[in-house]
Structure 1
Amino acid sequence: MSDQRRPIIIRRKKVVHNHHGGAWKIALADFMTALMALFLVLWILSSSSREELEAVAEYFRTPLTTAIAGGDRTTSSDSAIPGGGPDPAHAEGERARIELRDQSRSAVEQQRLRDRGRAEERRRLRELQRRIEAAIQAHPELRLLRDQMHLDLTQEGLRIQLVDSERRPMFELGSDRVAPYMRELLRTIAPLLNELPNRLSISGHTDSVPYAGGYRGYSNWELSSDRANASRRELVAGGLEADRLLRVAGLADRVPMEDTEPEDAVNRRISLVVLDEWSAEQVLSQGQVAETGEAATRASGDAP
C-alpha cells in the first residue's frame, strides 16, 4: 500500500429554510371579509325603517324554492302534513305568515310612495325658491335687499330668512315697526306663497343685546314675538291666505345664525318656512299632544 493517505472529503448538507406556507393568510383574509360583510349588514339594518326590517324578516321566512320560482307558500311547507302552521290539522299559522308578508310588502310600497311624494314636494319648493328670487331680482328697489335674503331648503322645508343690517334695518331699533322696504318685500312674496298648498311658519329672532330691564319687563322675547306678528300682518295684507299660517313664534336670541356672534346684526331676522307635509304634521301632532295634556290637567283639577 502506498503511504500516501487518502484525502478526507467532508460533505456538508445545505439546509434551505422554507416557509411553512400561506394557508393562514387565506383563512385570515376570509375571516376579515366575512367580518366586514357582517358589519355592513348590521349598519344597513340599523338605518332601515321598521317596515323595511319586517320585509327583510319576511323574506328570510320564505322558503328558498318559493323565493326563486315564485308560487304559493302554502304548498312549500317543509312539513309532511299539508298546510303547515302550528296545528297540523289547520293552515292558520301559514295563512298568518302570508298575511304578514302581504302587510310588509304593502308597508314597503307605502313608504316608497311617501318617499316619491316627498321628492316631488322638494322639487316644488325649489321651483318656488326660483320664482321668489326672480321676483326680487325684477324689482328695482327690492333688488338692493337681495344680500339680506337667505333662501335654502332645510329638513322642514323652504326657509326664507330676512336679516337685518346696520345700514338697512328691517325694523326700527327696539321696535316692531316695519321699515317701508321690508313691508314692500313681504307684500311682494305673499302671493307667491299662495301658489303651493303648504303651511307656513314664521319666527322672529333678535341679537343678544338685552334691554335695560333685562328679562323682567319687555325683553327680546316680546320683541321677537311682536316682530313675527308684524311680519304676519304684512303678509296677510299682501294677499297671503290666513289659513296657510300654522305657527308664529318669537325665539329671542336663542337661535343665532351659524358662524356669527350673538350680538351681530344679522341675528335680528325674520324666518319664514314653507313647511313640507311631514313637518306640518309634526307641528300639528305636537299641538294635539299639548291640548290632550291640558285637558287631562283640567280634568284632574276638576276631580273631587
Structure 2
Amino acid sequence: MSKKHRKEHHEEHADESWLIPYADLMTLLLALFLVLYAMSAADAQKFEQMSAAFSSAFNSTGGGSNILDHDSAVPLEQSSKTPKTTDNMEIEAAKERAKDLQAQKEQEQLEQLQAQLNEYMKKNGLSDQLSTKLNHSELRITIKDSALFDSGHATLKEESEKVAETIGSMLKPYKGYQIIIRGHTDNVPIKNSRFASNWDLSSARALNFMKVVLERSQLNPKHFQAVGMGEYHPIVSNDNAEGRAQNRRVEVTIVRKYSNHTKTLTTPAN
C-alpha cells in the first residue's frame, strides 16, 4: 500500500528538466535578434551600451559562453568599408596622376610659347622693351609703355600695334587660358583733358591693348580681362627717372590652369 502511494505521488510531478535548455535557447535567440538589430543600427555607441548590458546580465547567470563577448560585428563593418576606402584612394590617385600629366603638358606649352616670344623679341630688336617670365602660376609678358604709347596717351602707336597683333597670333594655338592684361603707371600724378588720374590712364592703356589683341587674333573675349593698376604695383623704386620708366608698363599674363601640380619651372627673362 505504501509502495503504491509513493508511485502515484511520483507520477503527479512531471519531469520539468526540459525547461532549462528551452529557457537558454529562448535567451540566446533573444540575444541573437538584439545583436542583429544592433549591427544594423548606425549608432555604434548604442550597440556597445546594449552589448555591455546584456553581457553583464548573461555573465551573472553563469550560463556558459556569452555570444556578445565576440566582436564579429566590428570586423564585418570594417571589411565592408575597406574596399570602398581602397577604391576611393585609387580613384584619387588616378585623378592626381591625370592632373600631373596635364600640368606637364601645360608646362611644355608655356615653355614653347615663351621660346617663341623670346625669339620674336630677339629678331626684332625688342629685348630691351619686352621681357618674359614663367613661374609656378603664370607666363608673364612685360612691355614697357614707351614701346606702345606716347607719354600721357593711351592710344597704341601705329608701329606698336604689330606687337599686340603678334602676341595675339602666338596665343591662338593655346586656347582655354585666362589672359589678364594689366596697365601700370609711375607715381607722377597726371591730370589732363583725357585722364583725371593714373587709374584712368592705366585702365585705358590695358583696355586699348586688349582690343587690338582681340581684333587681330579673333580670340574668345570671355577669356580676357583688362585691369588698370595705377601706380600702386611698382617693380622698382620711383625715386629716379629710370625706375619710373620701368614701372610704366603693360603686362600680359597667361594664367596656369594647373599651378598646384607644376613641378618643373623655368624662369628665364629676356
Deviations 1:249-290 (A, max 9, x none): 111112111x443661111111111222246xxxxxxxxxxx
How well do the aligned residues superpose, as a CA RMSD in angstroms? 2.6
Match of 1:235 in 2: 213
Confirm whether residue 261 of structure 1 aligns to residue 242 of structure 2. no
Match of 1:132 in 2: 117
Give the distance between the partners of 1:169 and 1:194, measured in 2 at CA. Answer: 23
- The match for 2:182 among 200, 203, 220 is 203
- The match for 1:87 among 69, 73, 77 is 73
The structure showing larger relative contact order (alpha-carbon pairs under 8 Å, at least 6 residues apart) is 2
Give the distance between the partners of 2:251 and 2:151, measured in 1 at CA. Answer: 18
Confirm whether residue 174 of structure 1 aligns to residue 152 of structure 2. yes
**Cα displacement (A) at 1:158:** 1.3
Give the distance between the partners of 1:128 and 1:271, measured in 2 at CA. Answer: 16
Deviations 1:62-120 (A, max 9, x none): xxxxxxxxxxxxxxxxxxx9xx98725x7233221331122123212312221221122
Confirm whether residue 107 of structure 1 aligns to residue 92 of structure 2. yes
Q: Secondary structure at the match of 1:158?
A: strand
From the superposition, tell whether residues 85 and 278 of structure 1 become closer, same or farther in structure 2 (CA, over 3 Å): farther
- Residue type matched to 1:122 in 2? Q
**Cα displacement (A) at 1:125:** 0.5
Give the distance between the partners of 1:155 and 1:253, measured in 2 at CA. Answer: 25
- Residue type matched to 1:111 in 2? E
Give the distance between the partners of 2:82 and 2:142, measured in 1 at CA. Answer: 52
Give the distance between the partners of 1:212 and 1:228, measured in 2 at CA. Answer: 18
Contact map agreement 1:85 1:94 (CA 8 A) in 2? no
Contact map agreement 1:193 1:240 (CA 8 A) in 2? no
Confirm whether residue 270 of structure 1 aligns to residue 244 of structure 2. no
Deviations 1:180-237 (A, max 9, x none): 2321211122111111112311111111111259xxx821111111100010111122
Contact map agreement 1:85 1:91 (CA 8 A) in 2? no
- Residue type matched to 2:155 in 1? R
Q: Secondary structure at the match of 2:170?
A: helix
Give the distance between the partners of 2:257 and 2:237, measured in 1 at CA. Answer: 31
Match of 1:220 in 2: 198
Contact map agreement 2:179 2:223 (CA 8 A) in 1? yes
Point out where structure 2 has 5 or more consecutive residues left out of the alignment: 1-66, 260-270
Q: Secondary structure at the match of 1:91?
A: helix
- Amino-acid identity (%): 24
Q: Secondary structure at the match of 1:171?
A: coil
Number of residue pairs the alignment of both structures matches = 185
Deviations 1:146-194 (A, max 9, x none): 2111111123321111013xxx452122221212232121112211111
Alignment TM-score, normalising by the size of structure 2: 0.61
Match of 1:194 in 2: 172
Report the structure number with the largest CA radius of gyration: 2
Match of 2:132 in 1: 151
Alignment TM-score, normalising by the size of structure 1: 0.55
> After the TM superposition, which residues 240-251 of structure 1 pair with which residues of structure 2 at under 5 Å, given as runs?
240-243=218-221, 245-251=223-229
- Residue type matched to 1:231 in 2? F
Deviations 1:9-30 (A, max 9, x none): xxxxxxxxxxxxxxxxxxxxxx
